[in-house]
Amino acid sequence: MTAAFPGLLILVWVSSFGLTKLLCVPSSAPGLLDHPNERSLHVTPIPRTGGLAILASLLLGILAMHMAEWLGVVAWNTSGADRPGVWPWIIGPALAVGAVSFWDDRANLSPGLRLGLQGIAAVGAVWGADLVVTAVPVPLWGVVPLGALAVPLTVLGLMWMTNLYNFMDGMDGFAGGMAVLGFGMLGSLAWLGGAQQLALVSLLIAVAAGGFLVFNLPPARIFMGDVGSVPLGFLAGTLALLGVRAGVFDLWVPLLIFSAFVVDATVTLFRRLLRGVKVWHGHREHYYQRLVLAGWGHRKTMAAEYSLMLASGVTALLYVHGTEPIRFGLLSLWVIGYIVLARGVHAVELKAGKRGIEA
């Protein structure tokens, strides 16, 4: 079975690379351009259709995966995360969310309509694939049951993951790099946990994002757009929930892996809510945006964020194999670490402001 893995991964990467290269041409269909606005960190119009290459290549890989299964080249588990009938309820809604996002890229849908359609997709995935998280483990404390709140909290969590990935797609190489590193680590841990199909789908997403990332590194020639970032957030959430529900890993593992996005987006949202700002309006208040604006630029900020992603991924691996005290210690260290990092961003801004005054 493992012999089929490299071929599928190469197929998807080549497809994504080739399609993204074609879409880099501004005159290519569908020809959507991202014009700079008050939220942007770029200054010239850039195509924002790279997500089409990621989704098309992922779909190609999944079809090839099932064709290999039909031909008897591979055989999957029939329980846990790889049980039959799960994937249509995950991939189908993800493609639907991608279609809505592409529509939004072209027509600027209202926030209410977008959220409503995303909610339908989230409910469909949670119900159809049985992704409900019924309890949250707390190291050294025990398991906290969610009771009647399990379903609504799971749906809301999935919707938030879908949107926060979109919020964090605002810097060259950032969301694409998170997809490569995040889904790559998720796939690796799924493989170690015996969920081979979950592992392969995660790795297919990682390599599809990798083919796109070649053209998205600073200075970016193309952006993934909502058609890429929103489905990637949805897939990050659903694959994480699938692994948790099947017992491959607990909830803290995917939260650690994607914590660079989860923490930045969540803290920024609450800070804006406390100020009474309309949170659906564009802005440049995320920590990564603040670093770029404070003079770090795209490359230095991207390198720092990639280091953070790698560190959180390694921590997730240590968490999986750690004892309860070790798990508690790792989570505690990251809470402290993110507080320190937030203060560090503030210090960078103060230093940049001081330099500006002195100049």
Sign of CA dihedral 142, 79, 131, 250: positive
Q: What are phi and psi of 193, to 5 degrees?
A: -85, 5
pLDDT at 230 over 90: yes
135 pairs with which residues across the strands? 145
Residue of 16, 339, 302, 262 lying closest to 171 (CA atoms) = 302
Q: Tell me how far CA of residue 131 lies from CA of 4, 194, 287, in angstroms.
A: 28, 18, 31
- Residue 8 CA to residue 252 CA, distance in Å, equals 29
Question: 357 pLDDT band (50/70/90 cuts)?
Answer: very low
- Percentage with pLDDT > 70 across the chain: 89
pLDDT per position as a tens digit, 148-192: 999 999 999 999 999 999 989 888 999 999 999 999 999 999 999
Q: Output the pLDDT for position 37.
A: 53
pLDDT, mean of residues 17-31: 82
Q: At what angle do helices 150-167 and 111-128 cross, to 10 degrees?
A: 130
Higher pLDDT: 280 or 260? It is 260
**Of the given ranges (305-309, 318-322, 354-358), which has the lowest mean pLDDT?**
354-358
Per residue in 51-96, pLDDT (tens digit) is 999 999 999 999 988 887 777 666 666 556 767 688 899 999 999 9
Per-residue pLDDT, 15: 97
pLDDT digits (tens, 9 = 90+) for 203-214: 999 999 999 999
Report residue 282's pLDDT band, with 50, 70 and 90 as the boundaries.
confident
